[in-house]
Structure 1
Amino acid sequence: MLQRLLMVLSIGAALAMLAVLVVRTQGEPQTLEGHLGRMTALAQLSAANVEADTQVMRARLSLESDAQGLEDAMRRLEAARTALALHRDGLRAVSRDVGNAVSGLLQQLDDKQALLGSYRSQVGEFAGSYAKFGQESDLVLADPALAGDAGLRSAVRRLLEEVTTYSLQSAPTNQDTLDGLMTQVTVGAGSAPALRSRLIALSNAAARVVGDKDQLTAIAGKLGEVPVAATLDRLQKNYIAHYAKDEANLARYRQVLAIYAAALLAVFGLVGWRLRRSYGELDRSHDELQNLNASLEETVQARTGELRKALDDLRFQQAQLVQSEKMAALGQMVAGVAHEINTPLGYARGNVETVRESLPFVRELIEAEQSGDARRREEAQRRWPADEGLAEFEILLKDAEHGLGQIAELVLGLKDFSRVDRSLTELFSLNDGLDTALKICQSQLKGRVEVQREYGELPLVPCAPSQINQVFLNLISNAGQAIEGQGLIMLRTYAEDDEAVVEVQDSGCGMDADTLAHIFEPFFTTKPVGKGTGLGLSIVFRIVEDHRGRIEVDSRPGQGTTFRLRLPLKAAAATSTSTIEPAGEIVLKEAFA
């Protein structure tokens, strides 16, 4: 025993060591595809950052509102930032300092993108103010009043040159000159009102150009303070250093793995040779085992046959029990059914008797009509008015026909209820089944229990109609027995998902938790001795189980009970009750106020 334990522990340790070495050689940072993807993302980001800086510089030197190059650079920088974010986890896996550098770089890129957006907007404002300044300059230079003042005209031209220089230079030094020229232009208009107004507008336009240029320069300075290039350079150097280190470790682990695998192969080869010798001994005992197996198979087949016969007997007895319970339920309702038959039979017989007694008068009237004797015809009409009698005949015969139809429906319901089904694949209307059960239970419910129907549109359900009718009869009968005095039974049907749902709800006494826990057990009953077998709900559950359905019970003491039957709308794979595996389910719900 100790030797086997040591062997198992040795094999486990060897496999664990092998697993560790394999894992060490398969780390994510060492995969070539991941490494190339990260290096590509860093290179693209570096190129996009340089392009963005270049476009910022070009935009500062441009006096036009078009900054398409800057927008393209911003989009490329955002795409490069997104690509780097996809590799964030892989870079963090390399080392902590590389991961921290990636997080810092992504934050710097977000800051730079925000500043680039502000810079792009300011470029547009600067270009607009410069264009406005040019328009004002053209208006002033074209004014005839300026031609007579050579000094003022020279000042306007110098202001135009200085503003243009200020707009183009990255670090202008002519701020003082600009202020003096704007003051000279403003106060040098003389007495011409139109010229003075244009010169003031020109000075204001020059001031807006200078202000927009200053804001543009300030944003450019903030962009220069974001160290994206330096951070990216450090990240690339750290990543390459760590990657080289990981590659060296990976090479060592691979070498160790190769040596270890060779040693394991040698050990397993020795074990295999030992096992081969053991197999030789096992082969010699194979014949003995075959003989023993043959004997065991014969014994198993014999016992299996006995069990199969016992199972068939049990299923037959179960079917007999279901049929017996069905006939017992019919027996309990024989008196009521007889009354339901006798009532329409009585007035049908009376109506037929009335018609039969009137036949001689009809015959006499017909003979008088055929003979042509007027006095005989008048005598027959006096004794029995022909028109009124024929109308009464029609009414009496219709009543008799209606009564016989009621008897036929009741007998047909009893026939459907009492027959023995051999298949679960017959298509059946659950609504018709409920109506059939109600006809049989009518004598038990009439005069004290109101029955309301809320039938939905249901497709035909594959089932055993006689068994389903028995379920309905048991549930409706139990609902009627649970109601003392006047009450209400509600019958509902509807389709839900792939199931047909039938609800039988009563306003009876309800059940407590202890009763709910046992209602489907065979021979359990709350009725007095001799009043019930305790098999009704047990058989109901078995029938629902055979149909691969479910039955739910919701009850409160003093507030009634609801039985909810769920049957599948599609036929089960099996076609006989003897081959259906149990698949039913009970859901018991009990609530107390």
Structure 2
Amino acid sequence: MLQRLLMAISIGAAIVVLVVLVVRTQSEPQTVQGHLARLTTLAQLRVADENATAQVTRARLRLSTEAKGLADAARRLEDAGSALATHRDEFRMVSRDLAGTAAGLLQQIDEKKSLLGTYERQIEQLASSFEQLRGQAEALLVHPALPAGSALHTAVRRLIEEVTLYALQSNPDNQQTIEALLNRLSAEAASARALRGALLGLGRATTTVLGDSDRASATADRISQLPITAELDQLRHRYVTHYAKAETEIARYRTVLVIYAGALLAVFGFVGWRLRRSYGELDRSHDALQTLNTKLEATVEERTAELRKAFDDLRLQQAQLVQSEKMAALGQMVAGVAHEINTPLGYARGNVETVREAVPLIRELFDAQASGDTARQEQARRSWPPEEGLPELEMLLGDAEYGLEQIGELVRGLKDFSRVDRSFNEMFDLNDGIDTALKICQNQLKGRVEIQRDYAELPPVPCAPSQINQVFLNLLNNAGQAIDGAGTIAIRTRVEDQMAVVEIRDTGCGMDADTQAHIFEPFFTTKPVGKGTGLGLSIVFRIIEDHRGSIEVDSTIGEGTTFRVKLPLRSAGTGGTSNATARPENLQETVA
């Protein structure tokens, strides 16, 4: 069996390795077409990014209100980003790092596209404000109050030139020169009333152009600082490196697959040769086995006869042990019953003797009254005064009657306890059964064990009453024997989940876990040799099992033990009857 298991494991492992190698050689991470498409996408994205950067510079140099080059560059950049997004899942399949780099690159492309739109609007605004500045400057240069060739005329022309240079490319040196020229024009405006409005308007237009130019420069700087080119180079390098590594690994797996397939063919050839040899050996072994089977049948019949005889002997010994258990229990029960009968019988006999002694005195009193002799009557009344004797006789006869009733009740309990049941279909009150068992074992318990009853109103239970009485008697006797000295036995009944539950809890010595695990096994006992057979709780367990019930035990060393018996409230029908009929010996077994 072990060899077959190892063989099956080996074959399974070989097949798994073969499948893994085949999958490794066939599951190429990228096809050639897909690889070229991804490289093309990366190249197109690089071109689109470089074009967008170039359009930023061109748009600044043109200062046109219609920056078509920026819009076209943004559109081309968006198309290239969309193409890269279509390959994002493919990059994720290749490597998680590549997928992260591609995702970051897409974010930068979106940011650059947004900045291009902003820059386009800023350039248009700059071109518009610059045109306004040029219009105001040209009007000022031809103003009659501003003669050509004058210092103010020269300053205005210089201002226009510097502002134009600053609009094309912001330069701190231009800005200082422009500020100096604006200060001069402001001073001139204070003295030249005719030119004051034109000069102030020119100054405001100049300030507007400078602000628009600064904003456009800041946006252009942000665009140039985006590391799209570096990220593209890094992504392309990682991707190409990974692709080359994957191709190398696939080639290596193909080589391993060829070698492994050759090894498997050699192994299978060797196995086939060995199987062919084994078939011949199996044929020879089969012939020898048939011969052995013929001899084995005779040996089995002989051993079966021996086992049957040993089994019959074992059953006989078991019956003898059960009978011994029954006789021991019977002796204990007879001793208890005799004691319980002797007590009321003793005081009933004494009361009868007292009444018998009083009968001659009563007869003498009657005779004296009948004779009419007054002296004789007086003497008889002194010997037995009726006013005292009659109440005493009534009390003595009442006590004797009570004792006889106790004896009769005990006899009736014994009759109920020991009656033979022929099926499990008789309805029985479990509370009455517990009280009957308590009466029988009262001699063992009274004087040292307190009985606490907590009875619920139970419906009649279909069962064999004598067997159930036998269970209660055994559990109560065991509880009493477990209590060394004074103690308590608490009995509780209730209905739970269509089951009648009886709990018998004692304050005895308790049991450890190992003892609890074996108490229902036949012949297991903790009593000294000669004090018990170990069949009591085993028979109890079998009776409860025959009634489709269950018995549980909870015990703690030094605290006590609780037995919990559960019996179904509904009859099992013919199944329960046939079970009781099949083993009638259960009905008369008494356990110690």
TM-score (norm 1): 0.43
Which structure ranks higher in relative contact order (CA pairs < 8 Å, sequence separation ≥ 6)?
2
Q: Which has the larger radius of gyration?
A: 2
